[in-house]
Amino acid sequence: MSSLRIFSVNHKKMSSLHINNIYCSKLRASLKRLKPHVLLGRNYSSLPGLIGNDIKSLHSIISPPIAKIRNIGIMAHIDAGKTTTTERILYYSGYTRSLGDVDDGDTVTDFMAQERERGITIQSAAVTFDWKGYRVNLIDTPGHVDFTLEVERCLRVLDGAVAVFDASAGVEAQTLTVWRQADKHKIPRICFLNKMDKTGASFNYAVESIREKLKAKPLLLQLPIGEAKTFKGVVDVVSKEKLLWNSSSVDGKDFERKPLLEMSDPKLLKETTEARNALIEQVADLDDEFADLVLGEFSENFDLIPAEKLQTAIHRVTLAQTAVPVLCGSALKNKGVQPLLDAITMYLPSPEERNYEFLERISRLLLPFADQHVEIPSLTAGNIALTVGLKHTATGDTIVSSKSSALAAARRAGREGEKKHGQNSEAERLLLAGVEIPEPVFFCTIEPPSVAKQPDLDHALKCLQREDPSLKVRLDPDSGQTVLCGMGELHIEIIHDRIKREYGLETYLGPLQVAYRETILNSVCASDTLDRTLGDKRHLVTIELEAKPIETSSVTPVIEYAEGVSEDILKASQEAIENGIHSACLQGPLLGSPIQDVAITLHSLIIHPGTSSTMISACVSRCVQKALKKADKQVLEPLMNLEVTVTRDYLSPVLADLAQRRGNIQEIQTRQDNRVVIGFVPLAEIMGYSTVLRTLTSGSATFAVELSHYEAMNPQDQSTLLNRRSGLT
């Protein structure tokens, strides 16, 4: 029961099942508490399908109609208000009876100790609830760059997403990252401009940033009534109604919806009419069916177009991902969340409107409610659920009931693909693509409190790696120490903390180090001979090869074979040869860092009969290392995209500090009263930067970083680094 997986299924029958373990770590803790179903300190309402003590039909609870299911994710830059928005959604849907707060550490979806202490989301959490007859499976995702993989894993099993923006900041660094991820997985989405009550909030600025930075076409479905301190409600552009929240209402449940009238709201009515006409024209440009309707029946007067017709067209445009609906509000001040829920059910797709086909075949099923769950007897297509067990599965696996069923599904998919030539074939959709796991940029050693505890540490790290594929663990061949490789300082800090809390191990971390890489600058040739007799068997390998730099970026070596190399030898020994090359490129001659952007060409290979593959690999590896040592060598360092948001008063000291950190400033943008510094800075120079930035700006500045690429160090910096590593400085 220590392993937990979430899976998504769709409406067409096929003998395969995709299982995704996005939530295994967050929900494993809940499995240890199967009996209690209520979190301490929180009040929960009835679960979906329960009204008071009465229960709807079991079928409607477990298997709602597929058209009434919405599988959605909440994604955004850190601190845009994702988790607060999720909390309000749960409250208004009746899932909780009290409002959770990130600052108070009592939210439903942020229930890990590390999340409540830091006020951030670290791992994704799933919650199921009902809204006006719809079943919504909602996933709250992290916004911090160190946990980008969590977002990637979620998007693969979702049908739609809500992108949350800080209305005072618009599109921020991590917003771009999660938006690109959603583009990659072709996820329809809607935008929610949050924090409209915040000082500096600007609806127009945020919309323009979506248009300019995300290259998206925003469909304005709402207009704010006031901004910043004067924000009190929104206008529904589609229905030409105003929604005003009662200022005396503590929880935001009380609001009134009134039609806009010429007598009472002439200015607002005019703005709304203009916005509605512009919306109709936008949608007509993007949807032919709606364009025919507008040009035919309603060309004389757009006011006569029924709201239902416009909403249906917006739904089609959203699914086609040619535009994104935009809504606004303030989750913290309890304004605008109920219309957001309506938009989720109205504009985002049901599972049957997406193109994935799966069939489940699992013995034990659970419905997720963050760190709670309810066991259910069955599940129909289109739902998201949990299953326990599956100890040998990992992210990206496709589970089938048997080999024969998998083969039959593949054959059927192949036939369907031939019939649908030029379209997405069934074969392409039979298996979901595995997630792209980014390369770690930080590493440090980790040691148990005693040698006797090393097996316990190995077990903990093995479990954590299955839950988090972006965490890499390796053994240092020289020192024998265990090395943790992660996405950032916070990532490694969280892993360290989880080992202590969840596995009861007090481990010790070595100093955090940057994951450099190495390359060569010129072509070199090398030869080697391995001649060894073990017992009565002689192992003899003679090899000649060439190592040369390549222009295109490649983390793994490009392997080529000259025409003179015997095909018979290659057929028998190619795997051993390539294993030797890959092994040699794991540790470069300068820092012991991985080699990249290198091609290895094998010119000659002579193998004595009976020579083992291990000896072949060893000889090849030794020869490659010899070539790399002969070449002119270059250290590559990770360069980070940096975005610092700072007030004008503190801009100069921030720029001066970045210059000392070898920063390369690309541009300085104006965002309301703030300045946004955008540039590149070496990763080695920004360790501990958050503390320095707080000191420089009296806590007023924020920053975000993301790996951009690896770049060659200049000779002076490289010399300094090598001397420091060798102990000369």
Residues in binding site for GTP: 76-83, 140-144, 194-197
CA distance 91 to 331: 11
Q: What is the CA radius of gyration of the chain?
A: 29
Does the CA dihedral 33-36-39-40 come out positive or negative?
Answer: negative
* Strand locations in 172-323 (E): 189-194, 218-220, 222-225, 233-236, 241-245, 255-259
Separation between Cα atoms, residue 152 and residue 155, nearest integer Å: 5
Q: In a 3-state reduction of DSSP, which class is residue 494?
A: helix
Could you tell me if 278 and 262 are in contact, meaning their C-beta atoms sit under 8 angstroms apart? no
Question: Using an 8 Å Cβ cutoff, are 192 and 328 in contact?
Answer: yes
Nearest-angstrom CA–CA distance, 203 and 465: 42
Sheet holding 598-607, edge to edge: 524-534, 537-549, 598-607, 558-561
Burial class of residue 169, CB neighbours in 10 A (0-12, 13-18, 19+): buried
| Closest to 27 (Cα-Cα) out of 366, 362, 364 | 366
Instruction: Write down the residue that tokens 């300045």 correspond to.
Output: 675
Rounded CA gap, 83 and 141, in Å? 8
Walk across the sheet containing 222-225 and list its strands: 222-225, 233-236, 241-245, 255-259
DSSP 335: B
Burial status of residue 33 (CB atoms within 10 A of its CB: 0-12, 13-18, 19 or more): exposed
Instruction: Report how far residue 665's alpha carbon sits from residue 688's, in angstroms, rounded to the nearest whole number.
Output: 20
- Are the C-beta atoms of 258 and 242 separated by less than 8 Å? yes
Whole-angstrom distance, CA of residue 706 vs CA of residue 482:
26
CA atoms in the 13 A half-sphere facing the CB of 230: 7
Helix, strand, coil content of the chain in percent (nearest 5)? 35, 30, 35
Binding site residues, as ranges? 76-83, 140-144, 194-197
- Within 8 A by CB and 6+ apart from 52, the residues are 46
